[in-house]
Structure 1
């Protein structure tokens, strides 16, 4: 099995919002510019990527996503199993509330999170909220995450209320991270994205766009979301090779 894979990222403020409240982490790289794209490689024997989509409006959303990503960055290298993921996410949630109580940001600020940790021949995918993770497998786009929304089984989620997030309330509430372990093979890739992509672009269209020839598939998807209206911040991370992607789609969700 290959020890590294190509990775592409893109983040964009969109056409409506005044600030980018999304923040991503790929290895040691953190991306938070209003508009940014990048490409590189990731070690699949122990690599990771995470997206946080901040909530609370402008500065508070940016504060929330940064607290989450910075907290995750300090511990994700030690993640080896489901219990480690749960502890890491609970710690990020606790740090958010500590920041609220200390006057850093306002009560109720919050963030969704989605991420993947590669562990040689396996991977752990996790999420809280409505940012998504997909497996890219020989022409199929398979949803690995599970939306924490009212009506979370629908293809478009704009306007649907979140049923859980990191922070997002005035006082701490119990959270149940969605965590899924799956077998990693050479032909499997992973797509992570904030809902700024999936609210604007249907999954079948995402699969088609991924199959098209482009230097940065993440940037290609972000452009499609902007072309469709760009009503929210858009962040995309694509990990894999062109061989993992073809224009067809199958959708399912974890039962966890």
Structure 2
């Protein structure tokens, strides 16, 4: 029987005081905490399965509240999602929920989060994102980013930027999202990496590709985490490896 294997971890890193990342894998969520080692879950292929990482906005209040709210909404909505329009509608619903949660709560004003993930259906896989958290497709031919960063070009001499141009919440005025959604092939053996920028900012794509080419899921997740830590662990690190098995 075909199945979906998801291996994930979340870690505060070496600099931040707390973890503002949240993670959803089907009905399961992990919010604002640290896993001691990669965890793997198996699901039957055929039912809609959402795997997503939400990265609460740093420098603004309550990023962990926004990211948790979004992944818990997606855990509830996931089984009903059946395509690109459903994903767009769900993300706009999440956006409105983040904005509404700030009503009468000055401590939550302008809280926001990014989101990036995959929706695995019986015959296809859809990637989606808002913000700069990322989705990569990893095959024997190499690593390819399939998400679209909502961020301006990096400044000269810099590889990355922390600025984002679109998030769920993140402002005092509610806005309509334009999520990035992409329909991708569903091929047994292919892997998709969903992650926050706590991995991709300090770790070059070439290193991520090298790790995924030589290691199985659990070891790869650990080695990606270790690469981010050895690069200084400047931010929260959350990642999920999604693999289609036959």
- How far is 1:57 from its partner? 4.9
How many corresponding residue pairs?
Answer: 240
Question: 1:231 corresponds to which residue?
Answer: 234
Contact preservation (8 Å) 2:20, 2:32: no
**How far, CA to CA, are the matches of 2:124 and 2:174 in structure 1?**
32
Distance change >3 Å, CA 56–CA 204, structure 1 → 2: closer
Residue 46 of structure 2 corresponds to residue 45 of structure 1: yes
Point out where structure 2 has 5 or more consecutive residues left out of the alignment.
none
Contact preservation (8 Å) 2:138, 2:191: yes
Normalised by the length of structure 1, the TM-score is: 0.87
**How far, CA to CA, are the matches of 2:159 and 2:25 in structure 1?**
27
Normalised by the length of structure 2, the TM-score is: 0.90
Contact preservation (8 Å) 2:6, 2:41: yes
Contact preservation (8 Å) 1:64, 1:111: yes
**How far, CA to CA, are the matches of 2:78 and 2:117 in structure 1?**
10
Question: 1:28 corresponds to which residue?
Answer: 27
Distance change >3 Å, CA 114–CA 153, structure 1 → 2: farther
Contact preservation (8 Å) 2:193, 2:240: yes
Question: 2:5 corresponds to which residue?
Answer: 6
**How far, CA to CA, are the matches of 2:50 and 2:222 in structure 1?**
19
Contact preservation (8 Å) 1:10, 1:237: yes
Point out where structure 1 has 5 or more consecutive residues left out of the alignment.
243-256
Pairing 1:210-249 to 2, within 5 Å after superposition: 210-213=212-215, 215-240=218-243
- How far is 1:138 from its partner? 1.7
Residue 205 of structure 2 corresponds to residue 203 of structure 1: yes
**How far, CA to CA, are the matches of 2:131 and 2:172 in structure 1?**
17
**How far, CA to CA, are the matches of 1:241 and 1:67 in structure 2?**
28
Q: Deviations over 1:172-209 (max 9, x none)?
A: 12320000011211132111000000001000100111
Which structure 1 residue ranges, 4+ long, deviate > 6 Å from structure 2? Answer: 152-155
Question: 1:169 corresponds to which residue?
Answer: 171
**How far, CA to CA, are the matches of 1:5 and 1:108 in structure 2?**
36
